Amino acid sequence: TITLGLDRADLPVGGIGLIPVTGIVRTNGFAAPVEVTLVGIDGISGTVTIAAGANPQPTAPLFLTLTSKPGTKPVASVGQIHAKAVVDGKPLLRIVASIDNAKAALAAMPNPPQEMTTQFAVAVTPEAPFTLELKLEKAEVAKGGVFKGKIVARRADKFTDEIVISATHFPVTVVPKLLPIAKAATEAVIELSIPAALPPGAGTLIFKGTAKVNGKDVTVTAPAVAITVTEPPKVEPPKVVPPKK
């Protein structure tokens, strides 16, 4: 059973949309990889593979990245999320159901209609006048260290307004230091301080930028970047050399 953090996503023309995969329930010793894919919406695609034995969590999800073909027009569409795996040498397919999300959308209805629990909505929105990319100096930092990098903006002609940067996914106890991308500038420095008490392991950083376009807020998400937090290197005590007799 696959759990998603959303039952709908926005996808700007020429940009990306992100669907968090927040859980998987494995039974009977099943530990094989699982491919999770959006299907049923013409011109829009996305897939992510849950590695063998992996178990994404709400605080450490995987992200299914949505993209659209060139020429896709702004429109709202409905598809499904399929999960595929090989079990005992045979292909197995399951339609991912978002029961809790459907209940929340239907005023806590205890048993929402099945067709609503297996739908996934994607709204293709007009092309934004900028895109974002996160560039880190290093993707691996020891506990107590700092991830350093920058958010790079590619602006459309004549778009020069400030872009406010915010972090939408990062380890809970990490302290981000973010600056906006100033008017007419193309990048801003970011820093994320890693507490010494943070458990080591893999994670994901996701940032978004918001700017005013014709008086309205337009938000763009940068592609997710994988990071790793490690234990600090062991410091060997200095060797004591006995005095010569």
Percentage of the chain lying above the pLDDT 90 cut: 49
pLDDT at 113: 76
Q: Name which residue leads in pLDDT, 133 or 61.
A: 133
pLDDT at 106: 67
- At 162-199, the pLDDT tens digits run 999 998 877 767 878 999 999 999 999 999 999 888 88
Assign 107 a pLDDT band (cuts: 50, 70, 90): low
Assign 64 a pLDDT band (cuts: 50, 70, 90): very high
Query: What pTM value is reported for the model?
Result: 0.78
Give yes or no for residue 123 having a pLDDT over 90.
yes
Q: Quick one: average pLDDT of 132-161?
A: 94
Q: Maximum Cα–Cα distance for the chain, whole Å?
A: 88
Q: Where are the beta strands (DSSP E) in 156-224?
A: 164-169, 175-178, 187-193, 201-213, 216-221
Between the CA of residue 107 and those of 9, 67, 159, 197, what are the distances in Å? Answer: 20, 31, 41, 40
pLDDT at 42: 92
Distance CA 68, CA 76 (A): 13
Which phi and psi angles does 118 have, rounded to 5°? Answer: -105, 5
Instruction: Specify the residue for token string 């994607």.
Output: 122
The sign of the CA dihedral 205, 174, 172, 221 is negative
- At 8-61, the pLDDT tens digits run 899 998 889 999 898 888 888 888 999 999 999 999 999 999 999 888 888 778
Q: How many CB atoms lie under 10 A from the CB of residue 67?
A: 15
- At 201-213, the pLDDT tens digits run 888 889 999 999 9
Residue 40 corresponds to which tokens in the numbers above? 């049923």
User: What is the enclosing helix (H) or strand (E) of 22?
Assistant: strand 17-24
